[in-house]
Amino acid sequence: MMRTYALLVLVASLARSAIAVFADDAYHTDYHHPLVGVPLEHSTFFHRPQASSGASLLYTLSEKLILGAINPKDGALVWRQFLNPFSNLTSSSEGFLRAGEDENTVISAVGPQVSAWDALEGKLVWRNEFADSVVKDLEVIEFDDGKATKNGKDAVVLFAGDQAVVRRISGETGDVLWEYRDWSGIYPHQLSTSNSNIYLVTLSSIGRIGLRIKVVSLDPLSGKERGHYTLSSENDVSTPQSILFVGANTASPIIAWADKASKVLKVNVIGSKHVSSIDIPNEGGDVIRKIRVHAPHITRSLPHFLVHYQSSTRNWAEVYHIDLSASTVSKAYSLPKLAGQGAFSTSTQDANVFFTRSTENELILLSSTSHGVLARWGTAPTASLRNGAAEEEYLLHGVSEVISRSDSSYAVRSALVSSTGDWNLVRDGKLVWKRTEALAGAIAAEWAELPELKDLARELEVEVHKNALAAYIHRVKRHARDLQHFPKWVESLPARILGALSGDQKKVESSKVFSRDGFGFRKLVIVATETGRLYALSAEEGRVIWNVKATELSNGDHWDVRGMYANNAEGWVIVQVSSGEDILVEVTTGKIQGYR
């Protein structure tokens, strides 16, 4: 019986090997990662592709200017469109993606182009291109002004060129309904809409002091100017990036910025000249590195918003309410300081506003009305390997969808982007899927052998440099040493072969390092990305074995890799960069062995 079993295993293994070399197997795709790139924070959201559908898709415009729809259930790509196939735009060009509530189209704007896409199938509905201008902002008009068509909500788009230009575009055809031009030579910054107005926010330079904020109110029907006012922001705002937030499509949009010392938060309710100054709470005196403002994008939502403060080691937040009659802002409650960076996202259900707080080990759901925790889930912390140690992986940003099952029961799924370039879907605290979107920025790749036969390569090299007799004697001795491991190898052979045939990688891989399969084969593909990361992919199924950060880059810089070379005998890969520095990486673990 044992002989019969061994014979069957041997025949099966030979059959699998024979099939692998058939001519009709050539040019088959072994695996494919349908990537879209790392999502942009302001252009990622959940949206129902059809008003009658109860299920949402996850839409994003990525840093690679790829528009895509993802099934949040399993992370599968539904459709994608590359928005920059022929133009000279770069990944640093600004891109925008919006969807009107209950609309079956999504609208994108990149460079001079504004396009509408079928939300379910990704087909182009219409496109309009405006020469000699570049899109600076895009919003969908949610309020009913009697002019929007039944087949699509209109969009309002801000362009920068010789002057700032605002255009209202038909959501049905893409035609321009009206345009407003600002000839004052100021810098166009962003658009905002309320229940009855369209606002153009621009910046003007006040000598060497700073930038002053100007707000122009436009009639949604005609595009004519209704009025304007300026805010004395020049002592605080030195660059456009100094403005933290300009809200749009909210019950009461706001402009928010902070003083240069990050001690005072200043908020203007758009439409009013009043500026509220709020002391930034910072017990312990942490150096604030980043401030983010989160507010709903639905006109019927409550006028509440959250301000997220981040230092290098901790993060905390404050929730504020707006008094619409007085155009003032007051603090509702505070959220405590927690370790790490963390991320917040905003969701709405009817008029209710929810904030989801994602930390290293928790997912917390809160209402904007009070500080009580509605739901809390524990999550497993993640880390990737760098230099043989755990690299801290922190959250950059995310979007969430909240479903209220009852007065006290909620379901939350959050799509979170991490510092490693991964896009993760967490549902009620459990990781559902992960997409390695940073691989969309691959710039170089190299095959690498696993170093399991490193000693054999050295032995063979010794034999090459000996005469025939000495080489023969050396080989006989080597085979005799190998026979010592033969019984153990034979004992594990059936399980390894069956594991390879069934696809059960646990039976054929080491628990500590990536190893060869049951037949003694396996290679890795070492990939370098423009963000300074290195990946190792299994050649068979494209699974990510390790992911490390190989170099630090400044914002906007791309890693310039000149070449990669695999030293299979030693088990490491050399990455050659434009600076002349070579990086040595261990193939099996991703450990950085050194720089030279």
Sign of CA dihedral 463, 467, 470, 476: positive
Helix (H, G, I), strand (E, B) or coil at 407: coil
What share of the chain has pLDDT > 70, as a percent? 79
pLDDT at 516 over 90: no
pLDDT at 498 over 60: yes
pLDDT at 502 over 90: no
Question: Given pLDDT bands bounded at 50, 70 and 90, which one contains residue 12?
Answer: very low
| Contacts of residue 198, Cβ cutoff 8 Å, sequence gap at least 6 | 141, 156, 166, 168, 191, 192, 217, 218, 219, 220
pLDDT at 147 over 60: no
Average of pLDDT values for 560-583? 87
pLDDT reported for residue 568:
83
Average of pLDDT values for 173-197? 89
More confident residue, 553 or 15: 553
pLDDT reported for residue 384:
43
- Using an 8 Å Cβ cutoff, are 78 and 90 in contact? no
More confident residue, 516 or 479: 479
pLDDT reported for residue 69:
97
Question: Given pLDDT bands bounded at 50, 70 and 90, which one contains residue 512?
Answer: very low
pLDDT at 406 over 80: no
Least confident of 123-137, 148-162, 163-177: 148-162
Output DSSP code: residue 152: B
pLDDT reported for residue 508:
43
Average of pLDDT values for 455-473? 65
Rounded distance between C-alpha atoms, residue 423 and residue 396, angstroms: 10
**Considering the entire predicted model, what is its pTM?**
0.84
Place of tokens 């004052």: 184
pLDDT reported for residue 196:
83
Question: Given pLDDT bands bounded at 50, 70 and 90, which one contains residue 295?
Answer: very high
- Using an 8 Å Cβ cutoff, are 444 and 573 in contact? no
Rounded distance between C-alpha atoms, residue 319 and residue 331, angstroms: 6
Structure tokens of 2? 């044992």
More confident residue, 7 or 535: 535
pLDDT reported for residue 9:
41
The CATH class of 2-32+443-595 is mainly beta
Query: What are 92-113's pLDDT values in tens digits?
Result: 568 999 999 889 999 999 999 9
Mean pLDDT of the residues in the chain: 83
